[in-house]
Amino acid sequence: MSDEMSGSSAPAVIELAEVTKRYSSAGQPAVDRVSLRVAAGEAVAVMGPSGSGKSTLLNLIAGLDRPSTGTVAVAGQRVDRLSETGVARFRRRQVGMIFQFFNLLDDLTVADNVLLPAQLAGLSRRRARERAGELLSTLRIDKLKDAYPARLSGGQRQRVAIARALVNRPSVLLADEPTGALDTTTGDEIGELLASLNASGQTLVLVTHNPDLATAYARRIIQISDGRITSDTLAPIAGGARADGVRAAGAHAAGGRAAGAHAAGGQGVGGASTAVWQ
Ligand code: ADP
Protein backbone atom coordinates (compact mmCIF):
# COMPACT_ATOMS: atom_id res chain seq x y z
CA MET A 1 0.00 0.00 0.00
CA SER A 2 1.22 3.52 -0.73
CA ASP A 3 2.51 6.02 1.82
CA GLU A 4 -0.44 8.21 0.91
CA MET A 5 -2.91 5.64 2.23
CA SER A 6 -0.96 4.96 5.40
CA GLY A 7 -0.90 8.66 6.24
CA SER A 8 2.85 8.81 6.81
CA SER A 9 6.14 8.39 5.04
CA ALA A 10 7.69 6.77 8.16
CA PRO A 11 8.71 3.12 7.75
CA ALA A 12 5.90 0.58 7.92
CA VAL A 13 5.59 -1.31 11.18
CA ILE A 14 2.53 -3.26 10.04
CA GLU A 15 1.96 -4.29 6.46
CA LEU A 16 -0.91 -6.50 5.37
CA ALA A 17 -1.27 -7.40 1.68
CA GLU A 18 -4.51 -8.88 0.35
CA VAL A 19 -5.20 -10.70 3.60
CA THR A 20 -8.20 -13.03 3.76
CA LYS A 21 -9.15 -15.08 6.81
CA ARG A 22 -11.79 -17.79 6.50
CA TYR A 23 -12.88 -19.80 9.50
CA SER A 24 -14.90 -22.13 7.29
CA SER A 25 -15.02 -22.80 3.58
CA ALA A 26 -18.67 -21.77 3.36
CA GLY A 27 -19.92 -18.22 3.73
CA GLN A 28 -18.33 -14.81 4.16
CA PRO A 29 -14.67 -14.59 5.23
CA ALA A 30 -14.06 -12.86 8.59
CA VAL A 31 -11.42 -10.67 6.89
CA ASP A 32 -11.69 -10.21 3.16
CA ARG A 33 -8.77 -9.06 0.98
CA VAL A 34 -7.51 -6.42 3.40
CA SER A 35 -4.40 -4.42 2.54
CA LEU A 36 -3.17 -2.07 5.22
CA ARG A 37 0.03 -0.20 6.00
CA VAL A 38 0.61 1.32 9.42
CA ALA A 39 3.69 3.50 9.77
CA ALA A 40 5.90 3.80 12.82
CA GLY A 41 4.34 6.15 15.33
CA GLU A 42 0.81 6.07 13.97
CA ALA A 43 -2.32 5.69 16.11
CA VAL A 44 -5.02 3.89 14.19
CA ALA A 45 -8.55 3.21 15.39
CA VAL A 46 -10.40 0.32 13.75
CA MET A 47 -14.15 0.72 13.94
CA GLY A 48 -17.11 -1.26 12.69
CA PRO A 49 -20.16 -3.18 13.81
CA SER A 50 -19.96 -6.31 15.89
CA GLY A 51 -18.88 -9.27 13.77
CA SER A 52 -17.28 -7.10 11.09
CA GLY A 53 -13.82 -8.62 11.58
CA LYS A 54 -12.06 -6.14 13.89
CA SER A 55 -10.78 -8.68 16.41
CA THR A 56 -9.79 -11.08 13.66
CA LEU A 57 -7.74 -8.31 12.04
CA LEU A 58 -6.00 -7.57 15.36
CA ASN A 59 -5.34 -11.28 15.94
CA LEU A 60 -3.78 -11.60 12.48
CA ILE A 61 -1.42 -8.71 13.25
CA ALA A 62 -0.60 -10.24 16.65
CA GLY A 63 0.19 -13.64 15.16
CA LEU A 64 -2.66 -15.21 17.15
CA ASP A 65 -4.30 -16.22 13.88
CA ARG A 66 -2.86 -17.01 10.46
CA PRO A 67 -4.30 -15.66 7.23
CA SER A 68 -5.91 -18.08 4.79
CA THR A 69 -4.29 -16.08 1.98
CA GLY A 70 -2.22 -12.92 1.81
CA THR A 71 0.78 -11.73 3.82
CA VAL A 72 1.22 -10.13 7.24
CA ALA A 73 4.47 -8.37 8.12
CA VAL A 74 5.15 -6.70 11.47
CA ALA A 75 8.42 -4.97 12.33
CA GLY A 76 9.93 -6.42 9.17
CA GLN A 77 8.97 -10.02 10.00
CA ARG A 78 6.61 -12.14 7.91
CA VAL A 79 4.33 -13.25 10.72
CA ASP A 80 2.34 -15.58 8.46
CA ARG A 81 5.47 -17.59 7.73
CA LEU A 82 6.78 -18.06 11.27
CA SER A 83 6.90 -21.45 12.97
CA GLU A 84 5.00 -21.93 16.21
CA THR A 85 8.12 -21.17 18.24
CA GLY A 86 8.88 -18.22 16.00
CA VAL A 87 5.38 -16.81 16.50
CA ALA A 88 5.67 -17.21 20.27
CA ARG A 89 8.97 -15.29 20.25
CA PHE A 90 7.57 -12.67 17.88
CA ARG A 91 4.56 -12.09 20.12
CA ARG A 92 6.68 -11.73 23.26
CA ARG A 93 9.12 -9.29 21.70
CA GLN A 94 7.14 -7.27 19.16
CA VAL A 95 3.52 -7.15 20.29
CA GLY A 96 1.84 -5.73 23.38
CA MET A 97 -1.86 -6.41 23.74
CA ILE A 98 -4.53 -5.03 26.00
CA PHE A 99 -8.10 -6.29 26.20
CA GLN A 100 -11.52 -5.21 27.37
CA PHE A 101 -11.40 -7.55 30.39
CA PHE A 102 -7.70 -7.01 31.12
CA ASN A 103 -6.75 -10.74 31.03
CA LEU A 104 -4.48 -10.50 34.07
CA LEU A 105 -3.39 -13.61 35.92
CA ASP A 106 -5.36 -13.54 39.16
CA ASP A 107 -2.95 -15.78 41.07
CA LEU A 108 -0.03 -13.42 40.48
CA THR A 109 0.61 -10.05 42.10
CA VAL A 110 0.57 -6.88 40.03
CA ALA A 111 4.39 -6.86 39.91
CA ASP A 112 4.56 -10.51 38.84
CA ASN A 113 1.93 -10.00 36.12
CA VAL A 114 4.18 -7.30 34.65
CA LEU A 115 7.43 -9.21 35.21
CA LEU A 116 6.31 -12.46 33.64
CA PRO A 117 6.52 -11.50 29.93
CA ALA A 118 9.90 -9.83 30.51
CA GLN A 119 11.28 -12.98 32.06
CA LEU A 120 9.78 -15.14 29.33
CA ALA A 121 11.58 -12.89 26.85
CA GLY A 122 14.87 -13.64 28.60
CA LEU A 123 15.42 -10.46 30.63
CA SER A 124 17.25 -11.05 33.90
CA ARG A 125 15.08 -10.81 37.01
CA ARG A 126 16.93 -7.67 38.07
CA ARG A 127 16.47 -5.89 34.72
CA ALA A 128 12.86 -7.04 34.51
CA ARG A 129 12.19 -5.67 38.01
CA GLU A 130 13.78 -2.33 37.10
CA ARG A 131 11.70 -2.03 33.95
CA ALA A 132 8.49 -3.12 35.68
CA GLY A 133 9.15 -0.69 38.54
CA GLU A 134 9.57 2.23 36.13
CA LEU A 135 6.36 1.40 34.30
CA LEU A 136 4.33 0.88 37.46
CA SER A 137 5.50 4.20 38.80
CA THR A 138 4.81 6.10 35.55
CA LEU A 139 1.36 4.54 35.46
CA ARG A 140 0.91 5.51 39.12
CA ILE A 141 0.23 2.01 40.37
CA ASP A 142 3.56 1.33 42.08
CA LYS A 143 1.88 1.26 45.49
CA LEU A 144 -0.21 -1.66 44.25
CA LYS A 145 2.73 -3.82 43.19
CA ASP A 146 2.11 -6.48 45.85
CA ALA A 147 -1.68 -6.52 45.44
CA TYR A 148 -3.61 -9.18 43.53
CA PRO A 149 -5.71 -8.10 40.52
CA ALA A 150 -9.01 -9.10 42.15
CA ARG A 151 -8.59 -6.26 44.67
CA LEU A 152 -8.10 -3.56 42.04
CA SER A 153 -10.56 -1.29 40.26
CA GLY A 154 -11.11 -1.69 36.51
CA GLY A 155 -8.96 1.36 35.75
CA GLN A 156 -6.13 0.06 37.94
CA ARG A 157 -6.33 -3.36 36.27
CA GLN A 158 -6.11 -1.81 32.83
CA ARG A 159 -3.03 0.15 33.93
CA VAL A 160 -1.42 -3.10 35.05
CA ALA A 161 -2.33 -4.63 31.68
CA ILE A 162 -0.73 -1.64 29.91
CA ALA A 163 2.45 -2.03 31.97
CA ARG A 164 2.53 -5.74 31.11
CA ALA A 165 2.00 -4.97 27.42
CA LEU A 166 4.87 -2.47 27.40
CA VAL A 167 7.43 -4.29 29.49
CA ASN A 168 9.24 -5.71 26.45
CA ARG A 169 9.10 -2.44 24.47
CA PRO A 170 6.89 -3.85 21.70
CA SER A 171 6.93 -2.47 18.16
CA VAL A 172 3.14 -2.35 18.22
CA LEU A 173 0.57 -1.95 20.95
CA LEU A 174 -2.74 -3.56 20.04
CA ALA A 175 -5.79 -2.62 22.09
CA ASP A 176 -9.09 -4.51 21.74
CA GLU A 177 -11.93 -2.43 23.26
CA PRO A 178 -9.63 -1.26 26.08
CA THR A 179 -12.27 0.96 27.69
CA GLY A 180 -15.26 -1.31 27.05
CA ALA A 181 -15.51 -2.42 30.68
CA LEU A 182 -14.75 0.97 32.25
CA ASP A 183 -16.88 3.95 33.28
CA THR A 184 -16.55 7.08 31.15
CA THR A 185 -14.11 8.95 33.38
CA THR A 186 -11.82 5.95 33.81
CA GLY A 187 -12.14 5.17 30.11
CA ASP A 188 -11.01 8.71 29.32
CA GLU A 189 -7.99 8.31 31.59
CA ILE A 190 -7.00 5.12 29.80
CA GLY A 191 -7.55 6.86 26.45
CA GLU A 192 -5.26 9.69 27.58
CA LEU A 193 -2.61 7.19 28.58
CA LEU A 194 -2.77 5.54 25.17
CA ALA A 195 -2.53 8.96 23.50
CA SER A 196 0.45 9.81 25.68
CA LEU A 197 2.15 6.58 24.68
CA ASN A 198 1.51 7.29 21.03
CA ALA A 199 2.84 10.83 21.43
CA SER A 200 6.10 9.32 22.63
CA GLY A 201 6.32 7.26 19.44
CA GLN A 202 4.50 4.03 20.29
CA THR A 203 2.63 2.62 17.29
CA LEU A 204 -0.93 1.89 18.36
CA VAL A 205 -3.84 0.02 16.81
CA LEU A 206 -7.04 0.42 18.77
CA VAL A 207 -10.22 -1.55 18.10
CA THR A 208 -13.26 0.20 19.50
CA HIS A 209 -17.00 0.58 19.13
CA ASN A 210 -16.73 3.98 20.71
CA PRO A 211 -16.47 6.83 18.18
CA ASP A 212 -15.60 9.32 20.94
CA LEU A 213 -12.59 7.25 21.97
CA ALA A 214 -11.54 6.75 18.36
CA THR A 215 -11.71 10.40 17.38
CA ALA A 216 -10.25 11.68 20.64
CA TYR A 217 -7.16 9.52 20.66
CA ALA A 218 -6.46 8.27 17.15
CA ARG A 219 -5.78 10.41 14.15
CA ARG A 220 -6.41 7.73 11.57
CA ILE A 221 -9.74 5.94 11.52
CA ILE A 222 -10.40 2.78 9.57
CA GLN A 223 -13.97 1.56 9.13
CA ILE A 224 -14.48 -2.11 8.53
CA SER A 225 -17.65 -3.83 7.37
CA ASP A 226 -18.11 -7.53 6.50
CA GLY A 227 -14.35 -8.03 6.73
CA ARG A 228 -13.48 -5.24 4.28
CA ILE A 229 -12.02 -1.80 4.82
CA THR A 230 -14.69 0.65 3.71
CA SER A 231 -12.91 3.87 4.66
CA ASP A 232 -9.49 5.00 5.88
CA THR A 233 -9.29 8.65 6.91
CA LEU A 234 -7.27 11.11 8.95
CA ALA A 235 -9.36 13.11 11.37
CA PRO A 236 -8.68 16.01 13.72
CA ILE A 237 -8.11 15.15 17.35
CA ALA A 238 -10.85 16.52 19.61
CA GLY A 239 -8.86 18.47 22.19
CA GLY A 240 -5.33 17.93 23.50
CA ALA A 241 -1.99 19.33 22.41
CA ARG A 242 -1.94 17.44 19.13
CA ALA A 243 -5.12 18.95 17.69
CA ASP A 244 -4.32 20.96 14.59
CA GLY A 245 -7.62 20.95 12.78
CA VAL A 246 -6.35 19.13 9.71
CA ARG A 247 -8.93 16.88 8.11
CA ALA A 248 -7.51 15.22 5.05
CA ALA A 249 -6.33 11.86 3.83
CA GLY A 250 -3.75 13.42 1.52
CA ALA A 251 -0.03 12.86 1.73
CA HIS A 252 0.84 16.47 2.63
CA ALA A 253 -1.50 16.70 5.58
CA ALA A 254 -0.40 13.26 6.67
CA GLY A 255 3.29 14.20 6.51
CA GLY A 256 2.64 17.24 8.69
CA ARG A 257 0.75 15.09 11.12
CA ALA A 258 3.54 12.56 11.41
CA ALA A 259 6.05 15.30 12.21
CA GLY A 260 3.63 16.76 14.76
CA ALA A 261 3.26 13.40 16.47
CA HIS A 262 6.99 13.11 16.89
CA ALA A 263 7.28 16.69 18.09
CA ALA A 264 4.80 15.81 20.81
CA GLY A 265 7.08 13.02 22.07
CA GLY A 266 8.74 13.36 25.46
CA GLN A 267 5.80 15.16 27.00
CA GLY A 268 2.77 13.05 27.68
CA VAL A 269 -0.85 14.09 27.83
CA GLY A 270 -1.37 15.93 31.10
CA GLY A 271 2.31 16.83 31.29
CA ALA A 272 3.56 13.41 32.47
CA SER A 273 7.04 12.52 31.32
CA THR A 274 6.87 9.74 28.78
CA ALA A 275 10.58 8.94 28.71
CA VAL A 276 9.91 5.63 30.44
CA TRP A 277 7.77 4.44 27.54
CA GLN A 278 10.83 4.28 25.33
P1 ADP B 1 -15.61 -8.08 15.56
O2 ADP B 1 -14.35 -8.05 16.33
O3 ADP B 1 -15.74 -6.97 14.59
O4 ADP B 1 -16.83 -8.20 16.43
P5 ADP B 1 -14.75 -10.73 14.77
O6 ADP B 1 -13.42 -10.55 14.15
O7 ADP B 1 -14.79 -11.21 16.19
O8 ADP B 1 -15.59 -9.38 14.63
O9 ADP B 1 -15.60 -11.75 13.89
C10 ADP B 1 -15.73 -11.65 12.48
C11 ADP B 1 -16.47 -12.87 11.96
O12 ADP B 1 -15.68 -14.03 12.15
C13 ADP B 1 -17.78 -13.13 12.70
O14 ADP B 1 -18.71 -13.63 11.77
C15 ADP B 1 -17.40 -14.19 13.70
O16 ADP B 1 -18.50 -15.00 14.03
C17 ADP B 1 -16.33 -14.99 12.95
N18 ADP B 1 -15.34 -15.57 13.85
C19 ADP B 1 -14.48 -14.90 14.64
N20 ADP B 1 -13.66 -15.74 15.30
C21 ADP B 1 -14.02 -17.00 14.90
C22 ADP B 1 -13.55 -18.32 15.21
N23 ADP B 1 -12.53 -18.50 16.06
N24 ADP B 1 -14.15 -19.35 14.60
C25 ADP B 1 -15.15 -19.17 13.73
N26 ADP B 1 -15.64 -17.97 13.37
C27 ADP B 1 -15.09 -16.89 13.96
56 C-alpha vs ligand 1 centroid, how far in Å?
A: 6
Structural contact between residues 272 and 135, judged by C-beta atoms closer than 8 angstroms:
no
Residue nearest to atom 5 of ligand 1 (CA): 53
Residue 35 three-state SS: strand
Task: Check residue 236 and give its pLDDT.
Answer: 58
- Does any ligand 1 atom lie closer than 6 A to the CB of residue 29? no
Largest CA distance in the chain: 52
- Does any ligand 1 atom lie closer than 6 A to the CB of residue 25? no
8-29 tens-digit pLDDT: 677 899 999 999 999 998 889 9
Report which of residues 238 and 159 the model is more confident about: 159
Q: What is the mean pLDDT of the chain?
A: 84
11 C-alpha vs ligand 1 centroid, how far in Å?
A: 30
Structural contact between residues 167 and 130, judged by C-beta atoms closer than 8 angstroms:
no
Domains of the chain: 40-63+86-265 (3.40.50.300)
Distance separating alpha carbons of residues 240 and 96, to the nearest angstrom: 25
In this structure, the chain runs to a length of 278
Phi, psi of 194 (to 5 degrees): -65, -40
Structural contact between residues 187 and 179, judged by C-beta atoms closer than 8 angstroms:
yes
53-107 tens-digit pLDDT: 999 999 999 999 999 999 999 999 999 999 999 999 999 999 999 999 999 999 9
Task: Check residue 8 and give its pLDDT.
Answer: 64
Band of pLDDT at residue 2, cut at 50, 70 and 90: very low
Spatial strand order of the sheet with 69-74 comes to 31-39, 12-21, 69-74, 77-78
202-249 tens-digit pLDDT: 999 999 988 888 988 899 999 999 999 999 998 754 554 443 333 333
Ligand 1 atom closest to 52 (CA): 3
106-130 tens-digit pLDDT: 999 999 999 999 999 999 999 999 9
